[in-house]
Amino acid sequence: FAGTVLWTAVVLALGTTSPLVALTWSLVPVLTIAGWALLRPERHAVDLAGMHLGLGLLGAIAVATDLELLAAGHEPARMALALPVLVLAAVGVGLVARVRAASRLDGKLDDDSTLGLLGMVISGLVGLLALLAVAVAAAAVGATALGQVGYTLAIAAVALALLVAGLRLRQSTWRHLALAALGCAAIKVVIFDLATAAVVWRALSFVGLGLILIAGALAYSRAKLQASTGAGEVAR
């Protein structure tokens, strides 16, 4: 962990011409630790990898802020950040799969702290990817209001996916985070979208959020049914 921080500090101190280049270089130790954890999925290794992925997420957020990648009127090469973020998210998903499959991680994995950390980091990475995609679409059509509505729906969609994953994998941390994100999306609709968007965008925002909530309710009921069925089979 100290080595990762030191490497990142050295990369940033060298003064690379682009924050994106600096981020890419600083992810070298992050991916090294994550690769080691994938090969040796012991609890301390996976926890360390999760913390490093979190550092990568913070670095990506810093780059997106520095380059104004989510600003509606700014049009740099926005999706250049998508590749390192996508790699980090894929590694995180791989770690979750390895944790669940590894026989060396003994014990019940319900509400597991290791999976809880990984889920939070992965949801942050996927959320950043979704926001970047919305920013690209809004810039392409020149619609700032579309971007704001898209941000709301992207947050709600990622939260829904995390909620379903939390139900299926029995991780309460994921579910609580997802419900908090859905609440933030609803608050954004009421406080910001309704106050600034035109009538058509308000309607689209409500319709989109409503569809996501309906899908969430259906997914919730299905996941609960599968969970109860699985618990009954285990009891037998």
What pLDDT, in 10s, does the model give residues 70-94? 775 555 456 777 888 888 899 889 8
pLDDT number for residue 98: 83
And the tokens for 109? Answer: 């994995």
Asked whether 132 and 67 are in contact (CB, 8 A), the reply is no
Q: Identify the domain containing residue 223 by its residue range.
A: 143-236
Residues 137 and 24 in one domain: yes
Last residue of a domain, one of 121, 141, 161: 141
Residues 156 and 55 in one domain: no
CA distance 26 to 12: 8
Last residue of a domain, one of 88, 123, 141: 141
Residues 22 and 118 in one domain: yes
Q: Which residue type occupies 183?
A: G
Q: Which residue type occupies 38?
A: L
CA distance 4 to 61: 18
CA distance 72 to 145: 9
- Pick the closest to residue 30 from 61, 14, 7, 12 (CA basis): 7
pLDDT number for residue 235: 47
And the tokens for 117? Answer: 């950390």
Tens of pLDDT, residues 104-131: 554 566 777 788 888 899 999 999 998 8
Residues 11 and 47 in one domain: yes
pLDDT tops 50 at residue 234: no
CA distance 233 to 231: 5
| Tally of structural domains, the chain | 2
Tens of pLDDT, residues 30-39: 788 888 888 8
Residues 223 and 149 in one domain: yes
Residues 128 and 11 in one domain: yes
CA distance 177 to 158: 11
Residues 137 and 163 in one domain: no
Residues 178 and 82 in one domain: no
Residues 105 and 149 in one domain: no
Residues 125 and 20 in one domain: yes
Last residue of a domain, one of 97, 112, 141: 141
Using only C-alpha atoms, what is the Rg of the chain?
19
